[in-house]
Amino acid sequence: MPQSYEHTLLGEERYRLLVDAITDYAIYMLDPDGRIVSWNAGAERFKGYGAAEILGQHFSRFYTPEDNLGKLPERALRTASTEGRFENEGWRVRKDGTRFWAHVIVDPIWSRTGGLIGFAKVTRDLTERKAAEAEIQRSRDQFEILVQGVSDHALYMLDPTGHVSSWNAGAQRIKGYRAEEIIGSHFSRFYTQQDLDSGEPAKSLETAKLTGRVEREGWRVRKDGTRFFAHVVLDTVRDDRGEIIGFAKITRDITEKMETQKALTKAREDLFQAQKLEAIGQLTGGVAHDFNNLLMAILGSLEMVRKRMPYDPALTPLLDNAIQGGERGAALTQRMLAFSRRQELDIKTIDLGDLVNGMMDFLQRPLGSSIRISTRMPERPALVTTDPVQIETALLNLVVNARDAISGDGSIVIGIVEQEIAGTVGPLAPGHYVRLSVTDTGEGMDPQTLQQATTPFFTTKGVGKGTGLGLSMVQGLTEQLGGRLLIESRKGAGTTVSMLLPRAANGHLATAQETVAPMADDAAARPLTILAVDDDALVLMNTSLMLEDLGHAVTEAHGGLEALDLLKAGGIAFDLVITDHSMPRMTGSELAAEIRQLWPGLPVILATGYAELPKGGDNKLPRLPKPFTQGQLQEIIARVIAASR
């Protein structure tokens, strides 16, 4: 045997051994018709056939029924013979019927003379890789479903230059753009013009590149041009080599949250203001009550001196000045009590139109010739249940405030209009109301001044020209009557202050005769034996002097328990008890309750400056407002004695 032929045989044997040793690839030969003529160990491992079982069989048996129906085996051989190679991936079938994912290469084999002698077929089992790819794709699909399913967050990608490269349903809902409208556009189109002018989009990208993350809150713009307040997170996305391949952007619309937070903050501020005003009201009411006791002693004593002293041109004017000063102090305490909603009210049903018309001459006097005042009255009576004297005082306050707001020529309009409130407005319940308003052409108020207008002791007038309690008093009176004070004003456009009062439903209109206090009859005017009770010695002494000056016999008690002891002693037959309410150990109301139980026929008058007594007080008792004059004392005694008989 020639050496060269022996060498060739040795090489072919080595090649065959090499092919048979490969188990990761199925390597086998086909004849020109596609029948198997060789079979290696890898083919046996992949496909499950031994060489004796498969040699001579057509290779199409490894294909699925679908591929055979589509003539894929024939196409593979034809492509390999005409184009020199066929490569494909797809499902193949093992001997046991199971399938595996295969990568297939078919190469034609040519003779030295150029004739086709068969095909070399190499198959690789990629089932594990296919499963891994399927798992990756499933994860991607799930992530895509997750991202697209998020509707309350805008989730999208930007390329390294800031152009939008993906878009989820939340982004479309929040920003209004469909994916085909926005992908490829620069994300800066979502920013306000102010942010664009300051270069905010570029700054965000640069910061994200340097730090890896940017978090911001600010206004953003939707497709329709409307704005929303957004919380934005921008994260840098890098590849395995650390190169920036884009940015992940998450945007959340927090406009509602911001508005809710603002409303909560406003509610907290309002609550704090209400608590502060309540505290001031409690303090003011207490101070005014104590001050009333002092004024009671001062004015009562001055009145007695003025009554008993003959006229002296040197002394009488000084005494009159002192009395006027005390009366001004009493008016101030009434304002303080009005602010704290504790002043005594004499409630009647009146026509506001008649009240305003009756005051017009009086209101014109403090205005001067440069300010015109006019009215706008309704056609039918505007009936409200109120204290006419307090309403007159409140209206005078509003007109004077309007006058002070006008520099030079101007006008003031007093208007009355009926208004129906359909739903609850602040403290107002639904119902029919009458709006009494005072409108001026003055300089108006800026928002800060308007906010503080009803704050106690706040005033824009000069030192000594105002107490800062005028509007507070009007507000207190209005709310005590079940209404609401409204102020509308703009700087340079004047001011309108309105008292919104409940309309009287079928109320009985008070006549002029009904507003006059009943006069004492002869029986009630006779001398009485009266028990005067007060823990304040000055007030008690002053009350006793007034009563004795009226001809009554007075016994003093410095507290409720002492008064009970005097009554139980039985030595004096009292016709009447006049008692202060706010006393230690036993209040005037508690004393009255004991008297009503033990001596039912003995009338009691309660002296107090409060319209609504503190808890435990008896609001049904006849009351004498402090500070009171001798005339008021005489009037209530006459009324109570007449009623008791």
pLDDT score for 521: 47
Domains 3-129 and 265-339 share a fold: no
DSSP label of 555? E
Query: Residues 6 or more apart from 235 whose CB is under 8 A from it?
Result: 208, 212, 213, 247, 248, 249, 250
Element (H, E) at 249: strand 244-253
Q: Could you say which residues of the chain have pLDDT below 70?
A: 1-23, 136-137, 139-151, 270-294, 296-297, 326-346, 366, 423-427, 451-470, 506-525, 609-619, 645
24-70 residue pLDDT tens: 788 899 999 999 999 888 888 888 899 889 999 999 999 999 999 99
Query: Residues 6 or more apart from 535 whose CB is under 8 A from it?
Result: 558, 559, 580, 583, 584
325-371 residue pLDDT tens: 766 666 666 655 554 544 555 677 888 888 888 878 777 776 777 78
Alpha carbons within 13 A on the beta-carbon side of 497: 27
β-strand partners of 557: 533
pLDDT score for 423: 64
Burial of 633 (0-12, 13-18, 19+ CB in 10 A): buried
Fold held by 265-339: Helix Hairpins (1.10.287)
What are the φ and ψ backbone dihedral angles of 259, each rounded to 5 degrees?
A: -65, -40
Fold held by 529-644: Rossmann fold (3.40.50)
Fold held by 150-253: Beta-Lactamase (3.30.450)
Q: Where are the domains of the chain?
A: 3-129, 150-253, 265-339, 348-502, 529-644
pLDDT score for 364: 75
Query: Residues 6 or more apart from 87 whose CB is under 8 A from it?
Result: 103, 104, 105, 106
Alpha carbons within 13 A on the beta-carbon side of 485: 24
pLDDT score for 8: 45
**What is the C-alpha to C-alpha distance for residues 641 and 645, in angstroms, rounded to an integer?**
6
Fold held by 348-502: Heat Shock Protein 90 (3.30.565)
- Nearest to 610, CA basis, from 334, 358, 361: 334
pLDDT score for 11: 46
Which CATH code of 1.20.1300.10, 3.40.50.720, 3.40.50.2300, 3.30.450.20 fits the domain covering 3-129?
3.30.450.20
**What is the C-alpha to C-alpha distance for residues 119 and 29, in angstroms, rounded to an integer?**
6
What would the two tokens of residue 30 be?
A: 């086909």
pLDDT score for 298: 77
Query: Residues 6 or more apart from 596 whose CB is under 8 A from it?
Result: 604
Are the C-beta atoms of 164 and 182 separated by less than 8 Å?
yes
**What is the C-alpha to C-alpha distance for residues 355 and 54, in angstroms, rounded to an integer?**
120
